[in-house]
Structure 1
Amino acid sequence: MDAQTLFFIIIGILTFEFVLERTLSYLNYTWYSKPIPTVVDDVYDAAEYERSQEYKKTNFRFGTISSSVSFVATVLFLFLDGFAIVDTWARSIADNEILIAIVFFGIIAIAGELISLPFSYFGTFVIEERFGFNKTTKKTFILDKLKGWLLTALLGGGLLAVVVLCYQWAGDNFWWYVWILVFLISVLMNMFYARLFVPLFNKQVPLEEGELKHKISAYAATVGFQLDKIFVIDGSKRSTKANAYFSGFGSEKRVTLYDTLIEKLTQEEIVAVLAHEVGHYKKKHIIYNLIASTLTTGLTLWLFSLFVDSDLLAQALGVGSASFHIGLVAFGLLYAPISRITGLVMSSLSRKFEYQADHYAEQTYEGLPLINALKKLSSSSLSNLTPHPAYVFFHYSHPSLQQRIKVMQA
């Protein structure tokens, strides 16, 4: 195989992924007007249903435009030898392989941000604003971006430097050390993300004493679950949409409730949602997800180690000889089909875990409050009640609302 053939294979992969995504989105779009299933026909009244339809159609059109721009920009960049040009720029700025890699990816990240930033702004301040979801001020939007860029530069740049250093030191066996490093980072992020990173963007306060906290504590006691850390996060700072999540394990386990969730649900419904989250912990879903992601990462790194030194991969991107950062880009483009498969496996596993957590909540608390909570949350976010099965299979980490309710009622 020569470099030109490999180049067109990369273009073919990108084109296939783009066409697949747009086809799935269109199939989903064609199901918007399907009759609402009986089990969820009370989620919307007539006016709200019409509003949800318009919201979905607007996002479909917006997604088509934004993804098309991204696809065209990427293909043009490849045809114009963009990676070779950026590689030359990086080498003119730095002469150390670690610094060259950091500068190279820094330039790519800036270019990507310049393309995506207008779409991000439009999505937040036009679409979300139009449908009454947006609570983000322009100041918050700018600060979020600045903080995100800074964290990416510090943590992403630091991790990249360590990975390149491992490559220079260990050669073909570098992937072992990077795998161990990524595993340790994953564990630490699972344990301390809510404590260390969430406060950079949101305020978290312990749930105040009162009837809700008493009911949560009473439920936790019935299932033998020690839950000392229940926090409320100011989700209303950015959106009216509601959520709750479980994070950490061991002494660092905590439940975080959005303030919007507390506003929209009754206390019984909140406890039911919490029971679902406790179900994830009791069923060891966090551990299983960590194991699955670790195995996936190991496979990816091993495959990457086989191709990182390939001059052919570098030449396919218009670069004369192999380097770590060029090998990483080329491998990332070629790895997309495998990533798609592993993503499907992880999504399927996640949907299975959601059913198990729902069942746990039914067994240890009540099913009806959880069903009512799910309906309210779907209504408040104008969720799609009739998603296409193919779209669910490829994209949903949770079963559809109809699927979840049917299983619980059965």
Structure 2
Amino acid sequence: MTPHALFYLLIAIIIIVFLVDSLLDILNARHYNNIIPDELSDVYPHEEYQKSIAYKKVNFRFKLVSSSVSLCIMLLFFYFDGFAWVDAIARSFSKNPITVGLIFFGIIMIGSDILSIPATYYRTFVIEERFGFNKTTIKTFFIDKLKSILMMIVVGGGLLALIIWFYQITGKYFWIYAWALVSIFTLAMNMFYAKLIVPLFNKQTPLEPGELRNTIEEYSRNVGFQLKDIFVIDGSKRSTKANAYFSGLGSEKRITLYDTLIKDLSKEEIVAVLAHEVGHYKKRHVIINLLLSIILTGITLWFLSLFIANPLLSEALQVTQPSFHIGLVAFGILYSPISEITGLIMNVVSRAFEYQADDYAKHSYDGEALINSLKKLSKNNLSNLTPHPAMVFIHYSHPTLLQRIKNLRK
């Protein structure tokens, strides 16, 4: 294959991925006005349901426009040799491959983040504000952006520097060392994410003593779930949407409740949600997902090692001097169809795990309380009750509300 042919193959992959995603969005949008199934008839009052349809339509149009603009920017960047231009800037600062790679990706990632600010700002302060979700202040919005960029520089830059260093000293075998590094990092994030990362953005406080805490602790004892602590996160600082999650492994495991969840749900419904999260732990879903993630990372890095040294990747992007960072960009695009397939498989596995966790909550606590909580969360988040089956199959990591209710009541 010639560099010219590879260039147009990269363009074709980008456009095809965009068209497939857009087609799914269009198919999904055509289901917005479908008749609500009887099992879900009590989720929305009529006016609230019309509001949910309006919310979905606004988000659909916004995504179509913003993704089209992003596609155009990316294609222009390709056609005007943007990667060669950024590579030249990076090489003007240093000849060291690690430094050049860091500067190159720093310009690409920070530039991309800055270009995305108008769309993110519009979504937060226009769409989410219009439908009553937004609680973020402009100050918080930009502080979050700054923190994210700093984290990307420190954490992402550190990992990238080590991976390029591995490549420089071990050649094609770098993927083994990179795999070990990424695996250790993934494990550490699973263990300490709530302690190290979350506090940078949110305040976490232990759940106050009282009826709710006593009920949660009683349930945990009954099912043999050793819980280190229960935390409340100030999710209302940014949005009215509610959530709860389980994090950590071994002695570091903890349950975190959004303050909006405590506000929206009854005590029984909150415990039912936590029973679902405990189900994930009891069924070893956290461990299995961690192992699958590590395996997929290893496969991806191995594929990368087969192509990264090929100068064709750099030549296709009009870069005369082959390098790890340019090869990584081209490989990332070439690998995206495979990534879409592995993502689909992971979603199939994830949906199966959600059913198992729901079943655990039903048998260990109360299935109807979980159904009530799911309905309330769907209503409060203006969720789509009638998604297109293709959208569910390809992109949904959770079964639909209707599927979960039918499973819980079977």
Equivalents in 2 of 1:400, 1:159: separation in Å?
Answer: 37
Q: How many residues align?
A: 410
Contact 2:110 2:149 in 1 (8 A): no
Counterpart-to-counterpart distance in 2, 1:231 and 1:140? 22
Letter in 1 for 2:120: S
* Structure-2 residue corresponding to 1:97: 97
Other-structure match for 1:325: 325
1:48 maps to 2:66: no
Q: How does 1:257-272 map to 2 (within 5 A)?
A: 257-272=257-272
Aligned match of 1:373? 373
SS in 2 for 1:36: coil
Counterpart mapping for 1:2-401 below 5 A = 2-401=2-401
In structure 2, stretches of 5+ residues that fail to align are none
Distance in 2, Cα, partners of 1:228 & 1:266 = 23
Q: CA deviation at 1:292?
A: 0.5
Alignment RMSD = 0.6
Question: How far off its partner does 1:321 sit?
Answer: 3.1
Q: CA deviation at 1:114?
A: 2.6
Partner amino acid, structure 2, of 1:98: I
Counterpart CA distance in 2 for 1:380 and 1:144 is 25
Moved over 6 A (4+): none
Q: How big is each residue's C-alpha offset from its partner over 1:273-320, in whole Å with a ceiling of 9 and x where there is no partner? A: 000000000000010001111110001000000111111111111112
8 Å contact kept, 1:247–1:255: yes
Please give the secondary structure, in 1, of the residue aligned with 2:29.
helix
What is the CA–CA distance in structure 1 between the aligned matches of 2:145 and 2:110, rounded to whole Å?
A: 12
Deviation at 1:110, TM superposition (A): 2.4
Please give the secondary structure, in 1, of the residue aligned with 2:226.
coil
Instruction: Determine helix, strand or coil for the equivalent of 1:95.
Output: coil
SS in structure 1 opposite 2:256?
A: strand
Q: Is the 8 A contact 1:230 1:255 kept in 2?
A: yes
Percent of paired sites with the same residue: 59
SS in 2 for 1:257: strand
Residues 98 and 161 in structure 2, CA contact (< 8 A), matched pair in contact too? yes
Deviations 1:125-180 (A, max 9, x none): 00000000000001110110111111111111111111111111111100000001
Q: Following TM superposition, by how much is the alpha carbon of 1:228 offset from its aligned partner in structure 2, in angstroms? A: 2.6
Q: Post-superposition shift, 1:94?
A: 1.6
Secondary structure, aligned partner of 2:255 = strand
- Post-superposition offset of 1:60: 0.2
Q: Is the 8 A contact 1:70 1:115 kept in 2?
A: no
Q: Please, what TM-score do these two structures have when normalized by structure 2? A: 0.99
Q: Is the Cα–Cα contact under 8 Å of residues 308 and 322 in structure 1 kept in the other structure?
A: no
